[in-house]
A and B are shown apart, each in its own frame.
Chain A
Amino acid sequence: MALNTLEQEQRRRARWRLAALLTPGMLWLVLFFALPLVIILIYSVMTNGPRGNIVWRFTVGNYYDLFTRSVYVNAYLRSIWISVLTTLICLLLGYPLALFIVRQPPRWRTVLLFLVLIPFWTNFLVRIYAWQIILANNGLINSTLAGLGLPRLNLLNTEGATLLGLVYGELPFMVLPLYAALDRFDFTLMEAAADLGASRPRAFWRVMLPMTMPGVAAGAVLVFIPTIGQFVVSELLGGAKVDYIGNLIQRLFLRSNPPNWPLGSAMAMVMMLVLLALILLYFRSTTEEDR
């Protein structure tokens, strides 16, 4: 009996400790994540007033517009397309790079990983401006070409420049999870596959790739999510010639005259749902791996 109450007392204390530890984080999430999300959700079903003010009248018109007007539908499709492209290119560049790093002696591995992370020391915007300098009409590449007597190329303010900037910015987020997955991979399995008659490409497809799929999926999610909402790169390197969702949302909130917060909110909600669906898909794929 006495033992029982002692045990209960201990459990009660453990609960309090847990509560004390969790409260600050929970408060933070509620205040700065859940609450704004709810506000956006509410805005998205309200009506925009004539001066950009919010009229508190329920409507699904914002959502209707998003799915029916080609300017919005196209922005979604374009965003998804460039995100898919960015993710694929990052994967194709990042996998060999991660593999190369993993196969180095431990000392070199640290150095190489460090090099992958070095760009983060400089602000992202500054690095994108640096790309402007490289790509501009009288920039680094073109002046070199001119110096060699070659014709100038139109590089800046193209969709290609946007893609380049996105791949450049996101590549480390692909390399790191791939590195982690490959680091856990037992390379004896590749010898076993070769021993059983698999050429290198077949051993890769049948053994290495399936076994590092969680890394591929994690990298893809990490690259895809920020890319689909981006607006800075397409504006600074793409010259804002075409609209991606990020650009539209930013414009609807900040630049349009009058602004249209409800429509912007609806856009953000739809984008979030698309991402949520993708993340669920990702979790499904990784839990199946564990089964």
Chain B
Amino acid sequence: MSEGNAIELRDVVKRFAEVIAVDHVSLAIRDGEFFALLGPSGCGKTTTLRLIAGFEYPSSGTISIHGREMATIPPHRRPVNTVFQSYALFPHMTVAQNVAFGLEMKRVPRAEVGPRVQAALEQVRLGPLGERRPRQLSGGQQQRVALARALVNQPEVLLLDEPLGALDQKLRKELQLELKSLQRRVGITFIFVTHDQEEALTMADRIAVMSQGKVLQIGTPTEIYERPTCKFVADFIGETNFIDGTVIEHGADAATIETPDGLRLRGVTPRPVRVGEQATLSIRPEKARLVTPSDARADHAFALPVRVELVSYIGSDTRITVRLNEQRTFDIWEQNTLSTLDRDAYWQPGEPAVLVCPPDNALVLTE
């Protein structure tokens, strides 16, 4: 194994009867990293986490934690701790007893347990609540007890299964930032599973996007958003416009596709493509612009004449739907950088315009 990796998965496969839940997954997660497994439900992300925790054993492939092979190690002897989606707090114990559980199991001297439990509770800002029962706490507080219960054991890796999934939107945003700063403070490797792309982008240092048991792309949030390597990732992360076609020409890192209705569009290629291959041009709505026909110039990847169809003002942005031809519409988001009440000066439905996009902002992607 290479130096500095907290966890390595090599070619891990997990089968349940007929279903392949995890399909030849290889991951190297670095020490101290905040790593996200992102994907829709049923993509294998939770199973991957459970394989690392030891609740499941791989059908084939190997998992190592700081270089130690985990194949024969049961969950209670692995140097990892888990924050469960349902928190799984012990309802018959107080908060402090919950947090002390792991230390007791490791037979930490009694005199040491009390202070460590208190310190862990302080760390998640639950200092005075040690004597409460879990069900007397709010969802957010329970979530923090689960965190304290795991962190008090000073695991080499902390696993979090949809840690914020059960909380409401506002609390979620708060805890996202809190979790990230907590991770910085303790310096422990965090691996967290989520289906919420915004959560992954906000918190993670790196993200692995999964679908149907496979890892499609691993990268920083910026890489994943700006340079998705396949159509699924571009679609799953953020919003985008897709225009399907066939590759008719390509260079080293760019290609042109032709659509069935005769449009020729050029974009960069994150992954090599072949002439004749089916491909999709992907343009994020905020990366294209509308100009008046008189302002259109030739230094764009393309300049397509369009007609404005729908204009929706949503405060921070204005979302415009334009029509390219009979079959095709395209979404553009423009930031409302000027404060004005004069909406008449803006695009009006039915108005002719030109859709322009810098070459780097359009991507040619394959499946």
Contacts and interface: CB of A to CB of B under 8 A. Distances in A.
Interface of A: 186, 188-189, 191-199, 202-203, 206-207, 210-211, 289
Nearest to B50: A191
B82 A197 contact: no
A189 B102 CA distance: 13
A196 B105 contact: yes
B53 interface: yes
Interface majority SS (helix, strand, loop, mixed), chain A? helix
Contact of A193 (B53, B101, B153): B101
Interface in B69-107: 74-77, 80-82, 84, 86, 88-92, 101-102, 105-106
Q: Which of A195, A203, A206, A289 has the most B CB atoms < 10 Å from its CB? A: A195
B136 to A, nearest CB: 12
Contacts of A195: 53, 55, 75-76, 80-82, 150
A206 B101 contact: yes
Contacts of A186: 86, 88
A192 B88 contact: yes
Given A195-B53, A210-B92, A211-B91, A188 B84 contact: yes
Given A189-B90, A206-B101, A199 B76 contact: yes
Interface of B: 53-55, 74-77, 80-82, 84, 86, 88-92, 101-102, 105-106, 149-150, 153
Nearest to B88: A192
A78 B212 CA distance: 65
Nearest to A188: B88
A197 B92 contact: no
29 contacts: A186-B86, A186-B88, A189-B88, A191-B55, A191-B75, A191-B82, A191-B88, A192-B88, A192-B89, A192-B90, A193-B76, A194-B54, A194-B75, A195-B53, A195-B80, A195-B150, A196-B76, A196-B150, A196-B153, A197-B76, A197-B106, A197-B153, A198-B76, A198-B101, A198-B105, A207-B90, A211-B90, A211-B92, A289-B92
Contacts of B81: 195-196
Contact of A194 (B74, B89, B92, B150): B74
A202 B77 CA distance: 13
Contacts of A193: 76, 90, 101, 105
Q: Which of A191, A194, A197, A207 has the most B CB atoms < 10 Å from its CB? A: A197
Contacts of B149: 196
B280 to A, nearest CB: 41
Contacts of B105: 193, 196-198, 202
Contacts of A194: 54-55, 74-76
A289 B91 CA distance: 10
Contacts of A203: 76
Nearest to A197: B105
Given A188-B88, A197-B77, A210-B92, 11 more contacts: A191-B55, A191-B88, A192-B89, A193-B76, A193-B105, A194-B76, A196-B81, A196-B102, A197-B153, A203-B76, A207-B92
A193 B86 CA distance: 14
A-B pairs, 4 with minimum CB distance:
A197-B105, A196-B102, A192-B88, A194-B75
A180 B341 CA distance: 65
Contacts of A199: 74, 76
Nearest to B155: A195
B319 to A, nearest CB: 42
Q: Which of A193, A194, A196, A202 has the most B CB atoms < 10 Å from its CB? A: A196
B48 to A, nearest CB: 16
Contacts of B54: 194
Nearest to A211: B92
A189 B75 CA distance: 13
Contacts of A210: 92
B274 to A, nearest CB: 47
A228 to B, nearest CB: 30
A286 to B, nearest CB: 13
A210 B106 CA distance: 20
Contacts of B76: 193-199, 203
Q: Which of B86, B91, B101, B153 has the most A CB atoms < 10 Å from its CB? A: B101
A197 B88 contact: no
A199 B75 CA distance: 9
Nearest to B152: A196
Given A196-B101, A207-B90, A211-B92, A191 B153 contact: no
